[in-house]
Amino acid sequence: MALNRYALLAAAGMIALSVAPGYAYEGGVDVRTKPGALIGASAGVPPPGIYMFDQVFTYQANLTGPGVNTALGGNTHVGVQAAVDVQGFLFVPGWTFLGATYDAVVVQPFVMQSVGSPVNAQAAGMFNTYIVPGELAWQNIANTGLAVKIGLGIYVPDGTTTGVFGTGNVGNPFWTFQPEVIVSYLKDGWNLSAAIYEEINTRNTVSNYRSGDILHADFTATKTIGKWTIGPVAYYYGQVSDDSCSGPSCAYATGILGNVQRYNIWAVGGLVGYNFGPAAVSVWATQEVSANAHGAPAVAGADPSLVPQGLTVFGTLSYRLWGPDEETAAPAKMFHK
| Residue 319 near residue 52, CB atoms below 8 Å | yes
Q: Which domain does 79 fall in, by range?
A: 25-323
Q: DSSP characters for 221-290?
A: EEEEETTEEEEEEEEEEEE-S--B--STT-S-TTTTTTSEEEEEEEEEEEEEEEE-SSEEEEEEEEEEEE
> Is the pLDDT score of 109 beyond 90?
yes
In a domain, 13, yes or no: no
What per-residue string of b and e applies to 80-108 under the rule 16 or more CB within 10 Å gives b? bbbbbebebbbebeeeeeeebbbbebebb
In a domain, 16, yes or no: no
Distance in angstroms (rounded) separating the CA atoms of residues 294 and 279 = 44
In a domain, 14, yes or no: no
Residue type, 172: N
> Is the pLDDT score of 22 beyond 60?
no
> What pLDDT, on the 0 to 100 scale, is given for residue 308?
95
In a domain, 55, yes or no: yes
> What pLDDT, on the 0 to 100 scale, is given for residue 70?
87
Distance in angstroms (rounded) separating the CA atoms of residues 39 and 10 = 9
| Residue 237 near residue 265, CB atoms below 8 Å | yes
| DSSP bridge pairs for 199 | 214
In a domain, 252, yes or no: yes
- The CATH number given to whatever domain includes residue 157 is 2.40.128.130
> What pLDDT, on the 0 to 100 scale, is given for residue 325?
83
> Is the pLDDT score of 300 beyond 70?
no
| Residue 270 near residue 231, CB atoms below 8 Å | yes
pLDDT band per the 50, 70, 90 thresholds, residue 291:
very high
Classify residue 204 by its DSSP letter.
-
| DSSP bridge pairs for 284 | 271, 314
The tally of CA atoms less than 13 A away on the side-chain side of residue 19 is: 33
Classify residue 317 by its DSSP letter.
E
pTM check: above 0.85: yes
How many structural domains comprise the chain? 1
Distance in angstroms (rounded) separating the CA atoms of residues 68 and 260 = 13
> Is the pLDDT score of 14 beyond 50?
no
In a domain, 332, yes or no: no
Distance in angstroms (rounded) separating the CA atoms of residues 273 and 282 = 4
